[in-house]
Structure 1
Amino acid sequence: MGKIVGKPKELKKINKTLILNSIKKRRSATKTEIVLDTGISNTTVRTLLLKLLEENEIISVGLDESSGGRRAERYSLNISKKYILSMIVEEKKIIYNIVNIVGEVVEENIIKIESIYDDNIIDTILEDLLSQYGNIKAIGISVPGIVNEEGYLSGKDIKEWKQVEVNKYIEEKYKIPVILENDLNTLALGYSMEYKKNFQKDLNLAYVHFTTLGAGAGLIINGNLVKGKNNFAGEIGIMPIEDSYLNEVLSRNLSDDKYSMIIANVMTIINCMVSPDMIIVGGNNFKHNLIDNIKKTYSEKNKIFSEVIAVKDSTKVGLRGITEIALDLINDDIKIISNGG
């Protein structure tokens, strides 16, 4: 493992985070292994391990087998010290999970809702979960709309957009940091993480989603999530198509060939703009039975084209994406750079 370096001002805080990061990556670590990972001096590591034990951030899991000398004490994270609540808000349901600081799911559930504009539903869920898990330290919410400071805008077109104010209210009432992210951005991030594990590199990726709420896209370019000005990137549902806009055209009674041509045109536009390695399509309103026809039409339109993959259930991927974003909230705003690790 390569050394890890940090670049904030508060050295003690940085070193504690580096130590925790080393333990997290190894699942458990000895003092010697932490020194090797971080480049921090043996004395400093010993002092900070004692402090982290005192703060209940880590626990001792026993002594290693002796190799002839003094047996080394091994440490792991106290995974019940902090929990993350991740939620996905959909048109008729909310999916949530509770994860510990190493990303292990301890609870997962689906709750049916009448409307995404119901101001009380998230409040009710939070009160119930906080009564069970008093140490929830961050909340990530994936929402179907354009995220702003107060909450998010949602609707099929600009005339129908409604403001849903949620994050400011939660933070003020529960004193827990909240991060909202567009649902398609969390899906794109989740798929990017999944494919990076397989390809061992960052991919340019577009996730295109079709639901009864409308069409949208999430973009990952060179491993980074693209949000654009005012978080507007990916709002393809209001993109002009023929005599109207995409969401309205898709609501018509289209023939299979017409539908395939429109979806292929959308993918062609994405291909011309960002040329991703792959375009992933899905959503509960996507016509999966036409995917072969869509791929054929798309490939005929383009000499250079992206790989197209259709997916039916993206819930777990979306939860993974918003969980990763929420986990960053409890990392004390310290950026970790791994050199060759």
Structure 2
Amino acid sequence: MKKVILRGIRTTLLASGSATKVELSEKLEISFPTVSKFVARLEKTGELMSVGLDDSSGGRRARRYAYNPDYQLGVALFLEKTETQYMIYNLLGEVKETGAASGYLQDGFEALAMQIESLLGLHPRIRTLVFGIPGSVDNGRIIYIPGYEKFRNVDLKGYMEARFALPVVVENDMNAAVLGYYDKIGSSENSSMIYLYFGQNGPGAGILVNGNVVRGSTSFSGEVSFVPLYDDRNFQQALAAADGTVTAMQEAAEVDAVSRLVASFAAILNPNTVVFCRNEVTEDLLDAIATRSAFYIAKEHLPKLTASDWREDYLNGLTKLGRNRMISGDDD
């Protein structure tokens, strides 16, 4: 119950800007004495601030309170092949600092922990750690991350929570990206979408159905590399160039592979939208994919194809997860 009340107070003040105890009591349907007790505790710690008195309506003037957005900070880190980028933000999502470090996927999680120690030393108000991983994650354990053996089967959440005594969120990169895009555009709760990215580590997808990220029974959803689109090739093999890297989809065969995947999504999930990374497609290429997709499934059932800033969406999704965790946390 304590966490429910704290979340309610934080959410209400962040949304409205300020409120009196009476307004909080009415909004949250919690007794005035209970609200007063929590407000007094949060004001004492500096989490809430008094912002003045309301005009009198005949009785004692009510004191108005606002949330101190810098009371808690979060850090979001996303790990890629060549570098690790981080962003420190407050509970309003305002960016306090950004930076980049070496590719900890190559260095190992102990080197990553040392980077966290450095950030905590500079920003002691960090209350939540969020990691974005180019692989499948099951409750904080990295269960599939090809090419990075130092992180395979690592319980990154458990390790970091034990080391730093802070709440930790570990999320698949594409799940974070689709969540961030969904939050950015303000879609309705019944929206369904796919975020498709080719990136440094092979193709992956984030799947969102009716406003919820789909993780699957073993947290393996979105690993589209394995989709068997042809008799002798899966999706990644169909996209691979002669040197084994994923190309920029310039050839007809590559357009066909992506179009088959889009048509498969349409037949299985019937999403509203498929989002591509803006750096990986052009408008002409999206048109070509849409045209070829209609070869496999009726045009009226195909999703809208669009492009977005993957890095922005990824970080937005990670910070969204971190802010939700901070809003729900205890104040102790």
Normalised by the length of structure 1, the TM-score is 0.84
2:246 corresponds to: none
Q: 1:140 aligns with which of 130, 133, 154?
A: 130
Assess, with a 3 A threshold, how the Cα gap between structure 1 residues 17 and 160 changes in structure 2: closer, same or farther. Answer: closer
Q: Secondary structure at the match of 2:34?
A: helix
Whole-angstrom distance in 2 between the partners of 1:291 and 1:57? 47
Structure 1 position 255, deviation (Å)? 6.2
Whole-angstrom distance in 2 between the partners of 1:160 and 1:59? 48
1:211 corresponds to: 199
1:314 corresponds to: 310
Identify which range, 247-256 or 171-180, moves more after superposition: 247-256
Matches within 5 A, 1:75-224: 75-111=65-101, 113-114=102-103, 116-119=105-108, 120-148=110-138, 149-155=140-146, 163=152, 165=154, 166-195=156-185, 197=186, 199-224=187-212
Q: Secondary structure at the match of 1:330?
A: helix
Assess, with a 3 A threshold, how the Cα gap between structure 1 residues 114 and 186 changes in structure 2: closer, same or farther. Answer: closer
Assess, with a 3 A threshold, how the Cα gap between structure 1 residues 115 and 55 changes in structure 2: closer, same or farther. Answer: closer
Letter in 2 for 1:77: Y
Whole-angstrom distance in 2 between the partners of 1:151 and 1:81? 31
Give 5+ residue unaligned stretches, structure 1: 1-9, 335-341
Structure 1 position 305, deviation (Å)? 0.9
Assess, with a 3 A threshold, how the Cα gap between structure 1 residues 260 and 75 changes in structure 2: closer, same or farther. Answer: same
Normalised by the length of structure 2, the TM-score is 0.86
2:233 corresponds to: 244
Structure 1 position 25, deviation (Å)? 1.5
Structure 1 position 160, deviation (Å)? 8.3
Whole-angstrom distance in 2 between the partners of 1:291 and 1:161? 37
Structure 1 position 193, deviation (Å)? 1.3
1:225 corresponds to: 213
Kindly provide the CA deviation profile for residues 282-324 of structure 1, in whole angstroms up to 9, marking residues without a partner as x.
Answer: 275x34362221122123432211111123x311211111112
Whole-angstrom distance in 2 between the partners of 1:19 and 1:287? 43
Whole-angstrom distance in 1 between the partners of 2:168 and 2:111? 16
**Structure with higher strand content:** 1
Whole-angstrom distance in 2 between the partners of 1:249 and 1:205? 23
Letter in 2 for 1:26: S
Contact kept? 1:151, 1:168, Cα under 8 Å? no
Whole-angstrom distance in 1 between the partners of 2:150 and 2:162? 25
Structure 1 position 325, deviation (Å)? 1.5
Q: Secondary structure at the match of 1:134?
A: coil
Kindly provide the CA deviation profile for residues 191-245 of structure 1, in whole angstroms up to 9, marking residues without a partner as x.
Answer: 11122x2x54441111111123111111111111100022101100122232122
Superposition CA RMSD, Å: 2.6
Assess, with a 3 A threshold, how the Cα gap between structure 1 residues 73 and 155 changes in structure 2: closer, same or farther. Answer: same
Matches within 5 A, 1:330-341: 330-332=326-328
The size of the alignment, in residue pairs, is 317
2:294 corresponds to: 299
Assess, with a 3 A threshold, how the Cα gap between structure 1 residues 48 and 172 changes in structure 2: closer, same or farther. Answer: closer
